[in-house]
Structures are given as structure tokens and as C-alpha cells.
Amino acid sequence: MSSNISLSRYLVEQQRSKGHIPADLRLLLEVVARACKSISHAVNKGALGGVLGSAESENVQGEVQKKLDIIANEVLLEANEWGGHLAAMASEEMDSIYLVPNRYPQGEYLLLFDPLDGSSNIDVNVSIGTIFSVLKKPEGNQGVTEQDFLQPGKQQVAAGYCIYGPQTTLVLTVGDGVAMFTLDREQGSFVLTQENVQVPADTKEFAINMSNMRHWADPVRKYIDECLQGKEGPRGKDFNMRWIASMVADVHRILTRGGVFMYPWDKREPHKAGKLRLMYEANPMSWLIEQAGGAATNGHTRILDLKPGQLHERVSVVLGSRNEVERITQYHAQI
């Protein structure tokens, strides 16, 4: 189902008639979308563009960077630094925050991103994506420090992702529900293809990396055990499993047909954090899921209420269909 509503028009309407976003934020989102178009182009070219494979570097978390991780990071920095709407940026791929250079005007927003999520899928032609989150710079501060970024997810003013799959689709919330825009390559613009996205409250589908089962904590084990018992078990229904290993693709499926996604803390980690990053992955995805009627917790607490202690903080993630997330959260309280 296509419409004649472009992303630009949607954003103008959000600004003018709905009053949800100021002009600066509209511009910022336009620029992020433009950067995503350019990343989509590089992803599409793949081997033809010489962009596959690893670079000879590691990121701040000690992960080997792929060439496309670096390209996507640079595209986002370059596109966003000169427009005058941003004060600073932070990326999963950079050690510390990136201040907008002095030669450009300074804006009042902070942009955070995972430039290319699902890195292990880059070279195998499976869906990957860009995840982004926008915060407002705290008022009254001169300059920007890392501290200014450490706001709970509920303070986001915009969040979304762009999935590079069979189609390139930008999924966005500015606090007025979730809208999806498909890239029309002939016109070069994102076109509204779904509005008011809703995640069903119940599901028969879960997503988790089962190879970590032996390391899981008891509440996670109990939940998955019960799902695996199917009709004969306490849940009285058969469950299906999907794991794409790209959070963007797993979340996109959940926004489309429901399901529950888990990347829990496990016993290998002493500090009870999971693999995923709170500020670049969990916060934006949790807000999208909540805006679509779903829920997101770390097993105990609503993710959007967590106050980050540091930029690259990791967190356990349970998100998706509301009734399943509530059940898993209850198991954490009981066991």
C-alpha cells in the first residue's frame, strides 16, 4: 500500500498541524534520512563498490570493524555536522562524543547512532540497518560533554531505524505513533507506506540466540522452556522461532507481525549487562516498540526509565508483544 505522502511532507505535517516537532528537528530528521539513502546505496553495491570485508581496526568495544561500519559512520557524521541543528553526536563506532566543529553553527540537539547494526550480516547479504536516537541538549550548559548525553530513553524526541533489506525502509517515531517509509529508488524519496503501526499484544513467535542457552539466567530459561513445550506445555500453544542476528530486522518483523525479542544478560558477564547498547540500540528500539503498543524491559525495569551511567553502556533487552514481555518480566521478579 503506497501513498503520495513523502517523508518530507509527513515531517512538515508533524511540525505544522500537529506541533510535535520544531523546524530544527524536522531538518535534522531529513538529514538523517538523506544519510541513510546514501548508506543504502553503498550497501546495495556490495562487492561492486569494494565495501565488503573487514577494515584493519577495532571499535571502542574491541570489535573488529567492517568497512561498511566505518563508511556508514562517516556518512552520518558528514551529513549532520554542518546543518546547524546539532550540538554533538555519539556513535557505537566511536570512543567519545563528536562535537560539531566550531566553523559550523551549533544547534540544540544531540544525535546518537549505531551506523550499521547487524555487522555479522554485512558480508552475507542479509538485512542490516542504521539505528538512531535524538535527545535535546540540556538547557543552560555551555558546550557539550558526555554527561549531557546520559539521559534516560524517555527523554528522546525522535528515534528510528532504516533497514537495508529487500526494500530500504525508514521507521520513525517523534512521539506520535510509528510510521514506515519505503525508499522509492526511482524518485529518490522515502514514501509513507504504513502509519499507526501496532504490535499485537499476544504472539506465538520468539527471537533469541539459542546457542547461549547454557549461560542464561533461570527466568529466561523457564520462559523459553515453556515455549518449546508447545501445545502440550503450560502455554498450550506451539511457538515458532526466528533469529536474524540483526536487531533491526528482528524488530522490524515484530513491528510487522508481533513477537518477542530477547538479548538477555547471561552468566558469562559479571556485571549483569547484555550485549546490546542502551543508548544506540535499546533506547530507540524500545521507544518505537512502546509507541506501537508493545513493551520493553531489561527483565526488571522499563528500558526507557533507565538512567545511563556511561555512553557505551550495555543492557539486557526484552521487547515486543506486551503480554509476553510482561510474563518474562514477572518471571524475573519471581525467580
* Residues making up the binding site for substrate: 117-120, 209, 275
User: What x-and-dash track marks residues 194-213 binding ligand AHM by CB under 6 A?
Assistant: ---------------x----
Q: Checking phi first, is residue 286 left (phi over 0); if not, alpha (psi -120 to 50) or beta?
A: alpha
Give the annotated binding-site residues: 92, 114, 116-120, 209, 275, 281
User: What x-and-dash track marks residues 51-80 binding ligand AHM by CB under 6 A?
Assistant: ------------x-----------------
Residues 91-120 within binding reach of ligand AHM (CB under 6 A): 92, 114, 117-120
**Residue listed under C-alpha cell 520468539:** 206
User: What x-and-dash track marks residues 85-114 binding Mg ion by CB under 5 A?
Assistant: -----------------------------x
List of E strands, the chain: 54-58, 64-66, 86-91, 98-99, 109-117, 128-136, 158-164, 168-173, 179-184, 189-194, 205-207, 240-241, 260-263, 276-277, 295-297, 314-315, 317-320
Instruction: Work out how close the CB of 92 gets to Mg ion at its nearest, in angstroms, rounded to a whole number.
Output: 6
The answer to whether residues 162 and 40 touch, using CB atoms and an 8 Å cutoff, is yes
- Residue 324 near which of Mg ion, ligand AHM, none (CB within 5-8 Å, type-dependent): none
**Residue listed under C-alpha cell 517523534:** 174
Helix axes 218-228, 322-334, angle to 10 degrees: 130
Based on the shown chain and the rule CB under 5 A, indicate whether residue 117 belongs to the binding site for Mg ion: yes
Q: Which residues contact 260 (CB under 8 A, 6 or more apart)?
A: 203, 205, 206, 207, 254, 318, 319, 320, 321, 324, 325, 328
Instruction: Work out how close the CB of 66 gets to Mg ion at its nearest, in angstroms, rounded to a whole number.
Output: 12
Instruction: Work out how close the CB of 31 gets to Mg ion at its nearest, in angstroms, rounded to a whole number.
Output: 21
Give the annotated binding-site residues for Mg(2+): 92, 114, 116-117, 281
Phi, psi of 169 (to 5 degrees): -130, 130
Residues 250-279 within binding reach of ligand AHM (CB under 6 A): 263, 275
Buried b (16+ CB within 10 A) or exposed e, 95-126: eebbebeeeeebbebbbbbbbbbbbebbbeee
The answer to whether residues 197 and 179 touch, using CB atoms and an 8 Å cutoff, is yes
Question: Which residue in the set 71, 88, 247, 255 belongs to the binding site for ligand AHM (CB under 6 A)?
Answer: 247
DSSP 264-282: --BTT-TT---SEEIIIII
Nearer to ligand AHM among residue 107 and residue 115 (C-beta) = 115
Instruction: Work out how close the CB of 74 gets to ligand AHM at its nearest, in angstroms, rounded to a whole number.
Output: 17
Nearer to ligand AHM among residue 117 and residue 324 (C-beta) = 117
- Residue 263 near which of ligand AHM, Mg ion, none (CB within 5-8 Å, type-dependent): ligand AHM
Nearer to ligand AHM among residue 11 and residue 276 (C-beta) = 276
Residues near ligand AHM (CB under 6 A) are 63, 92, 114, 117-120, 209, 245-247, 263, 275
